[in-house]
Homo-oligomer: A and B are copies of this chain.
Amino acid sequence: MADVRKKPVGVFDSGLGGLTAVRELRRILPHEDIVYFGDTGRVPYGTRGRDTIIRYAKQDIAFLLEKDVKFIIAACGTVSSTLPHEYSDALAVPYTGVVASTAAAAVEATRTGHIGVIGTPATVMSRSYERAIRALRRDTTITAAGCPLFVPLVENGYFDRGNEVTHLVARDYLTPLRDAGVDTLILGCTHYPLIAPIIGDVMGPDVALIDPGRETAKYAKRALASSGLLNPDGGRAEYYVSDDVESFHRLSEWFLGEYTGGDVKRISVDEYEV
């Protein structure tokens, strides 16, 4: 019988933002094999409607299941906030999104109990982070803001700390949260860690920024360990995208920190049954 431990961990995102989670997984779980799917042919998800997001996420998951993964991580705030639990609970392999572990980290970090959430419009409208936070601690105040332009700004390279455009957009989106007095801010989309310095400049040095990729990688390590699924001797990575592989080669270093090797292939994800 095949050793389940040696199967890969499947990670997917609407695009390449989920690679910020892969970077963290690589760091704390260097012996896992990883299969990553980035839906670069249909990014962004977070400004689309709920039915569309669910349909796309189901196709992404169908692809990872075909790759025989042992564990699935939706490294995408939008999918994590939108895919119904009834669906993910019924999958043949364990599944996690980014919301629960990120919410837990925020509850641990806050001193005043006032937590801010930023994400795509779909994430904010779903109120997923609010529910997850309140389930852990009832006496919290939550202020949320949708930031639809952050993903295209990051994907077009507007993320250097001195970028005036992104700074202005961040001020538009974040000033209400800063003025409301949040002491902890959930970066509820895996693209946002790339502009954490700009977000930090607007929010000020006393606000703790919570990175969903990092928190979810830590959760995945605990989950794999507790179920005896840690891989003793893997470490490879395979990347799949739904647009040309050129954009992966051009953009992936931004998210991965450094390109960590591994083949990149293109697939037609819309041919997978939902």
Bound complex: CA of A83 vs CA of B190, how far in Å? 33
Chain B residues near A270 (CB-CB < 8 A): 270
Bound complex: CA of A261 vs CA of B52, how far in Å? 24
Chain B min CB distance to A49 (Å): 3
Please give me the residue from chain B that is nearest to A49 by CB atom. Answer: B244
Chain B residues near A158 (CB-CB < 8 A): 149
Interface set, chain A 37-96, CB cutoff 8 A to B: 40-42, 47-52
Kindly state whether residue A108 has any CB partner on chain B within 8 Å: no
Bound complex: CA of A206 vs CA of B258, how far in Å? 47
Bound complex: CA of A246 vs CA of B121, how far in Å? 14
Interface set, chain A 222-267, CB cutoff 8 A to B: 242-244, 246-247
Bound complex: CA of A270 vs CA of B47, how far in Å? 19
B52 in contact with A48 (CB, 8 Å): no
Given A158-B149, A165-B168, CB of A52 within 8 Å of CB of B41: yes
- Oligomer: number of copies: 2
Kindly state whether residue A155 has any CB partner on chain B within 8 Å: yes
Given A165-B169, A168-B168, A169-B165, CB of A49 within 8 Å of CB of B246: yes
Chain B min CB distance to A167 (Å): 10
Chain B residues near A169 (CB-CB < 8 A): 165
Please give me the residue from chain B that is nearest to A270 by CB atom. Answer: B270
A48 in contact with B165 (CB, 8 Å): no
Interface bits A131-166 vs B (CB < 8 Å: 1, else 0): 000000000000000001100110110100000110
Chain B residues near A165 (CB-CB < 8 A): 149, 165, 168-169, 172
Bound complex: CA of A153 vs CA of B51, how far in Å? 24
Interface set, chain A 170-189, CB cutoff 8 A to B: 172
B244 in contact with A48 (CB, 8 Å): yes
Bound complex: CA of A168 vs CA of B48, how far in Å? 26
Chain B residues near A247 (CB-CB < 8 A): 47-49
Binding site for B on A (CB under 8 A): 40-42, 47-52, 148-149, 152-153, 155-156, 158, 164-165, 168-169, 172, 242-244, 246-247, 270
**17 more CB-based (< 8 A) A-B contacts, given A48-B244, A148-B152, A149-B153:** A40-B48, A41-B42, A41-B52, A42-B42, A47-B156, A48-B243, A48-B247, A49-B243, A49-B244, A49-B246, A50-B244, A51-B244, A52-B243, A149-B152, A149-B165, A165-B165, A165-B168
**Can you list 10 A-B pairs, Cβ within 8 angstroms, ordered by A?**
A41-B52, A50-B244, A51-B244, A52-B242, A52-B244, A148-B152, A149-B153, A152-B152, A165-B168, A165-B169
